[in-house]
Amino acid sequence: MLKHLQEVLQLPEVEGQGSPEVTLTELGPDGSKEGGHVEVEDGAQGREEKAAPMQPAMTTVPPQPEEEDGLSYIFLRLASLDTAVHRLNVQFHAMDVRMAQFSQGLTQLRTCLAEAQEVLSALNQTSTRNQHDIGRMEGCLRGRRTQTKCFLIFKEFEGYDQAHTLCQTRGGNLAMPADATELGVLRRYLYDAFQPSNWPCWVGIHDRRAEGLWLFENGQRVSVFDWYKDHLVSQPNGGMRENCISLSSDDGKWWDSDCAQPQEKYLWLLPLPSQPESLASGSQEAEHPLPLTPISSPPAPQLGQ
């Protein structure tokens, strides 16, 4: 609009910021100024003069009482937390001390347990030796004795392996007659113990390693045999099913039998490789002398009944 007025009034353009001040004068017929005049001032300058607001002065607002209460509460809570943490540290320290005491006590208990186990092991070994010594004494006192071995009959209903285990707990093994002399002693001993009956009795001989290869329990090969033979039955005849040897009490002959089948009124023999020193020094003058030959020996006592 100002530009249009400039063109109508033929006013030059003025460079600068804002619009130039324009004065409108109404001329009369005689060229004199009549009426009022309209002044158009620079709009930017006018706006600045009109819109110059007053800036408020910077002042420091004092803290409110509510803010002070909030800070005090926070500090109080921090102090409480610090106290709680201190108590926890004290409790943890006490727990560490107790744990150290428990660990020390546990170590002592383990040491005592190890010592007790050693003592128990020693007692077990002593008990085993005592059982073996008792078995040797019993075998030589109540059974039959040769120059180097003692034999004893036990009346039990067991299989071959169970009989061998029970013999070992008494300090011996199943009887292993090494020669004809020991076979004669066993034959007479069985006959005197069970006449007029006939009962089978295990001895420590088997061919479980290989069929027909008869071995003692100690692994040595058998060199002397006494199989039962007649016109009806010839031993051994069991093949792979019968691999252990039992002796008949009426004649002392050998029969091959099933190792897992318990013998009827099962009997087994206990050979002992040595005799107690008390018997070796004075067996002939003992109150119950032991026979050295199978012929004049008294009947064996009945055990396990």
DSSP three-state, residue 164: helix
**What CATH number is attached to the domain comprising 214?**
3.10.100.10
Give a yes or no: residue 18 inside a domain: no
Q: What per-residue confidence (pLDDT) applies to 2?
A: 61
Residue 56 has pLDDT above 50, yes or no: yes
Name the pLDDT band for 298 (thresholds 50, 70, 90).
very low
pLDDT at residue 170 greater than cutoff 90: no
- Is residue 170 included in any domain, yes or no? yes
Asked if the structure places residue 69 within a domain, the reply is: no
What was the pLDDT predicted at 50?
52
Contact 131, 170 (CB under 8 A): yes
Token look-up 């005799």 returns: 275
Report the sign of the C-alpha dihedral through residues 294, 295, 297, 303, in that order. positive
* Domains held by the chain: number: 1
- Over residues 178-221, the pLDDT tens digits come to 888 889 988 999 899 888 888 888 999 999 999 989 999 989 99
Strands 150-151 and 144-145: antiparallel
> Looking at the domain assignment, is residue 20 inside a domain?
no
Residue 30 in domain:
no
Does residue 192 sit within a domain?
yes
Q: Measured between alpha carbons, how far is 149 from 279 in angstroms, rounded to an integer?
A: 12
- Its pTM stands at 0.52
Domain membership of residue 227 (yes or no) is: yes
Q: Which range of residues forms the domain containing residue 247?
A: 143-278
User: What is d(CA 75, CA 81) in angstroms, rounded to the nearest whole number?
Assistant: 10
Q: Residues 205, 248, 302, 161: is their CA dihedral positive or negative?
A: positive
Residue 94 confidence (pLDDT):
92
Cα 101 off chain centre by:
26
Confidence at residue 289, expressed as pLDDT on a 0 to 100 scale = 34
182 within domain boundaries: yes
